[in-house]
Amino acid sequence: MNSTFTKLLRMILALLLLVFGANKIYPFLPIFSMPPAAANFMESLQSTGYVLYVVAVLEICIGLLLLFRKWVPFALLVLAPISINILLFHLFLDVSSIWVAIVIVALNAILIYKYWQSYRQLFH
């Protein structure tokens, strides 16, 4: 859990979450054209007025927890369904930028594996 490899993965995941979470609240990354289905989906989430902000706040909070090494196993579990949804969004609606989703899911899965001893009691 405290290896340099684990720390590096945790920091990379934290920075990705902080950047993409902040970008949902205040867009600063360049906007690439999305397929119409993906654009419609994102537009409908944005029109609710709260869904993207909730996801953004969760991503920022999880990123901060990972960055400051607080409640890391909890943060990874909360991130699991979010990262799966990111992957599914890109798999079904916007395949062109699926690599970011794959990186986030892979980092989350590897870190859950590295912290597996924290989850053992859940399965007894």
Lowest mean pLDDT among 6-10, 46-50, 120-124: 120-124
Q: Is the pLDDT of residue 91 over 70?
A: yes
Q: How confident is the model at residue 22 (pLDDT cuts 50, 70, 90)?
A: very high
Phi first, then psi: what are they for 60, rounded to 5°? -65, -45
Task: Give tens-digit pLDDT for 45-64.
Answer: 999 989 999 999 999 999 99
pLDDT at 31: 79
Q: What is the pTM of this model?
A: 0.91
